[in-house]
A and B are shown apart, each in its own frame.
Chain A
């Protein structure tokens, strides 16, 4: 049986990249690759001292399965968290790079991406789905 791939999206709230990364992650796990991916909750995953509060499932899953992080900005919080607690990530998608490549699409706001923002999220989701497929081929 093939393994599932964990998708960990930046949970940043202050930049449009965070909103786009969350929307793209949901599109992948709900629509594009529902049978081969699962979303891992980034705050729960990254939380320091979690061993004292319970909730090790995300970290354990990422130790045993390939993971793709989706980064909303150059800080790469998701990748750093995964590598700190579980090991190397299989792939990282930088949302800001995809946004730059599509200047014609302007998200409405942090709270509401609007039509163009959702289109951008779909493009990011397609990139993630491609990585998912590559990882399954390479296994």
Chain B
């Protein structure tokens, strides 16, 4: 079994619901779908340049989830860590599921936002598997 973990870094914005989808998605992946394989990391600490966190990310796989085109999570992880193994945009899952228009409520999130987060979490979960499988192949 691979000892590598997949770190997930959501953008965490609170101005719009798209950041909330990223946050909720991450919680579903790390607490339910990929418990023990995926871990959450805190974007502000990465931006701050916390050495031990940046080293952890360099040594493991990293998935970023962004909520707007400015891609704070992607850009900051690239800047501090120098790599991103996969990236997701919460706006993509919204566009692909027009029947679930996310509610504007940010705390607590609405039912449609929960559905969208679950859908995105399943996609992220698949990526976690792929990344870990690739790691195992390299190690074999």
Contact = CB atoms under 8 A, between A and B. Distances in A.
B44 A42 contact: yes
Contacts, number: 98
A68 interface: no
Interface string B22-66: 011011000100000000111111011010000000000000000
A39 B71 contact: no
B76 A47 contact: yes
Contacts of A25: 14
Contacts of A54: 70
Contacts of B106: 22, 26
Contacts of A112: 108
A62 interface: no
Contacts of A50: 70, 75
Contact of B14 (A15, A42, A46, A111): A42
Contact of A46 (B26, B47, B71): B47
Contacts of A87: none
Contact of B31 (A26, A44, A111): A111
Interface of B: 10-15, 19, 23-24, 26-27, 31, 40-45, 47-48, 50, 68, 70-73, 75-76, 79-80, 106-108
